[in-house]
């Protein structure tokens, strides 16, 4: 269950790619620290960037780690030993795989993973932890908001909204993370991606 809070480097990568595209300073990745939990939440943007267009094309991503799902075509892909990430400006999709002795439950996530998440990310506010039924089977869905990494020059941060889905089968736990600036309208696109997950 430790995998729920290990994906901050990919969020930093998203901000790096966004900054490079805009020829502005990049965001710097900070080390995980308990002090992050005490950070105050920054206000959401009035007109946040990050809407995935209704015309966005999705393609099948076949992971060598034993699953398939749809991801946005054209987003920057980075492969890792435990999964992959797909980022576009300040939006991101991260999938990672770890071993688990048993399927996660709402109770186990609340009792252990949430404290790890709040330590690893900035100013986390958890909205809900629920069991949901998706085509791949029973899944735990975590909804929360967090701060981005501060800009190296301006120190500006944005508020992010996040959804994590925990899929389990035969000792394998896949964590799917979807994130975007708070207020972005990605409900349909996020439902499409989370619902497209299939075990190979």
Determine what percent of the chain is predicted with pLDDT higher than 70: 79
Domain extent, residue 89, equals 2-199
Task: Give 136: exposed, middle or buried? Use CB within 10 Å, 0-12, 13-18, 19+.
Answer: buried
| Residues 51, 173, 141, 1, Cα dihedral to 10° | -120
Question: Based on the structure, what is the number of domains in the chain?
Answer: 1
Per-residue tokens: 55: 């015309």
| Section 140-160 average pLDDT | 91
Arithmetic mean of pLDDT over the chain:
85
CATH number, position 123: 3.40.1000.10
What is the model's pTM? 0.80
Q: Residue 69's beta-bridge partner residues?
A: 61
> For 62-118, what is each residue's pLDDT tens digit?
999 999 999 999 999 999 999 999 999 889 999 999 999 999 999 999 988 888 888
Per-residue tokens: 181: 């600036």
**CA 94, CA 162: separation in Å to the nearest integer?**
11
pLDDT band at 18 (very low <50, low <70, confident <90, very high): very low
Per-residue confidence (pLDDT) for residue 39, from 0 to 100: 84
pLDDT band at 48 (very low <50, low <70, confident <90, very high): low
| Section 40-49 average pLDDT | 74
């Amino acid at each position: 269950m430790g995998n729920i809070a290990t994906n901050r480097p990919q969020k930093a990568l998203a901000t790096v790619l966004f900054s490079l595209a805009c020829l502005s300073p990049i965001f710097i990745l900070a080390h995980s620290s308990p002090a992050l939990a005490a950070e105050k939440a920054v206000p959401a943007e009035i007109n946040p960037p990050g809407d995935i267009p209704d015309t966005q094309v999705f393609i099948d991503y076949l992971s060598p780690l034993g699953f398939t799902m749809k991801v946005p075509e054209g987003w920057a892909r980075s492969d890792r030993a435990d999964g992959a990430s797909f980022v576009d400006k300040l939006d991101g999709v991260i999938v990672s795989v770890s071993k688990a002795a048993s399927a996660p439950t709402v109770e186990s996530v609340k009792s252990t993973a949430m404290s790890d998440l709040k330590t690893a990310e900035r100013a986390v506010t958890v909205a809900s932890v629920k069991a949901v039924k998706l085509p791949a089977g029973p899944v735990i869905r975590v909804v929360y908001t967090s701060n981005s990494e501060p800009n190296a020059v301006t120190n500006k941060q944005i508020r992010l909204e996040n959804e994590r889905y925990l899929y389990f089968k035969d000792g394998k736990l896949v964590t799917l993370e979807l994130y975007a600036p708070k207020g972005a309208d990605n409900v349909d696109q996020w439902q499409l991606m989370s619902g497209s997950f299939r075990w190979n």
